[in-house]
Amino acid sequence: MGKADLHIHTNASDGDCTPREILEKAIEKGLKTISITDHDTIKGYKKARALDLSNQLELLPGVEMSVKWGDKEVHLLAYCFDPDNEDVNILLLQQSSARRRRMAKIVKALQKQGIDIDMDEVKAEAGFSNIGRPHAASVLINKGVVSSFNEAFIRYLSSEKLDHINAEYCTISEAVQVMKKAGGVLSLAHPGPLYSSGEIEQMIDLGVDGLECIHPSHPYPVQKKFTKLAEKRNLTITGGSDFHRPSKSGYEPYFGIVTLGEQYVESLKRTSTQRKNT
C-alpha cells in the first residue's frame, strides 16, 4: 500500500523548495499521494498541478490556514476543496492581506525594541511568497541579531512574545463554512503540544472534521492517543512531515518517513466527494 504526506510547504509560503522540487523529492521517496499545504495560499499547489511531474503521483489540494478561536491562533489543514472556488480564493486573499498587516505590526514592535529592521526588508526576503514570521527571522539572521531561526523565535517571534499583536485572520467557523461548501475537509494541525483535550473537543464541535494524528512533534504515545480519539469520534485522520527544509525547521529527515496510510487518504477523499455531491 502506498504512503502519503499531507503536510508539505513550498517557497510559496515559508518553505525553501519550489513546487517542482517538492514533486521530485516525493517521487524519489516513493510517495503515492501528497498535499502541498502552504500557509494561507494555494499558489504552490496550483503551480505543482500544472507540472508534468504531477501525473506521477496523486496531488491533493491543500492549505494550512491560520484562524482565530477566541484569543488563540489555531492552524487548520484543509484538503480536497475545489481550488478554483471563488469564495475559497477570496478568503485566502483576505488571509494574505491579514498576514501583511500583522507583519507590519511585528516590525514596529521589533523597532521599538531597538532592532534595525523595516517592512521593505521583510517583503524582499519573502519575495513572491506569502509573508510570515520566518521571513522576519531571516532578516534578523542576515543582520546578525540572532544566529538561528530557533533563536529568532525564542527571543522575538514566538506566539508568546507577540501575544499583544492581534492578527485579523478569519475565525474557525468562517473557515469551516467556506471550505466545506467547496467540498473541503478540515483537520486540526499538530494538536499534540498546543491544546487541552477539552479545547480539541470544542473545536470538533465547531465543525473541524479531523485531527493531524501523525506529525514529527507527536511521539508514538501522543499519536496513539489522537488516533483513538479520532476513531472514537469518527473523525478524519491526517498526517505528514510538515516539511519546510532544515533552515526553517528540524523536520527535514521526516520527509518520506512520517507518512500516512492510504486507507486514511481514501477516507478523506470519500468525505470530500460526499460533501461535493450534497
Question: 257 and 186, same structural domain?
Answer: yes
pLDDT (average), residues 183-200: 91
- Whether residue 17 is contained in a domain is answered as yes
**Tally of domains within the chain:** 2
Residue 236 has pLDDT above 80, yes or no: yes
Question: 53 and 73, same structural domain?
Answer: yes
Question: 153 and 68, same structural domain?
Answer: no
Question: 135 and 205, same structural domain?
Answer: no
Question: What is the extent of the structural domain holding 204?
Answer: 3-92+167-277
Band the pLDDT of 175: cuts 50, 70, 90. Answer: very high
Question: 268 and 174, same structural domain?
Answer: yes
Residue 47 has pLDDT above 90, yes or no: yes
Question: 265 and 128, same structural domain?
Answer: no
- Whether residue 162 is contained in a domain is answered as no
Share of the chain above pLDDT 70, in %: 97
Question: 127 and 234, same structural domain?
Answer: no
Question: 174 and 254, same structural domain?
Answer: yes
pTM equals 0.88
Question: 114 and 71, same structural domain?
Answer: no
- Got the DSSP string for the chain? --EEEEEE--TTTT-SS-HHHHHHHHHHTTEEEEEE--BT--HHHHHHHTSGGGGGSEEE-EEEEEEEETTEEEEEEEES--TT-HHHHHHHHHHHHHHHHHHHHHHHHHHHTT----HHHHHHHHTTSPP-HHHHHHHHHHTTS-SSHHHHIIIIISTTTTTTS---PPBHHHHHHHHHHTT-EEEE-S-TTT--HHHHHHHHHTT--EEEEE-TT--HHHHHHHHHHHHHTT-EEEE---B--TTT-S-GGGTTTS-EEHHHHHHHHHHHHHHHH-
Question: 105 and 79, same structural domain?
Answer: no
Instruction: Write the pLDDT tens digit of every residue in 101-132.
Output: 988 999 998 998 889 899 999 988 888 788 88
Residue 118: which CATH number?
Answer: 1.10.150.650
Question: 141 and 206, same structural domain?
Answer: no
Residue finishing a domain among 107, 137, 157: 157
Residue 4 has pLDDT above 70, yes or no: yes
Question: 263 and 135, same structural domain?
Answer: no
- Whether residue 31 is contained in a domain is answered as yes
Residue finishing a domain among 139, 157, 175: 157
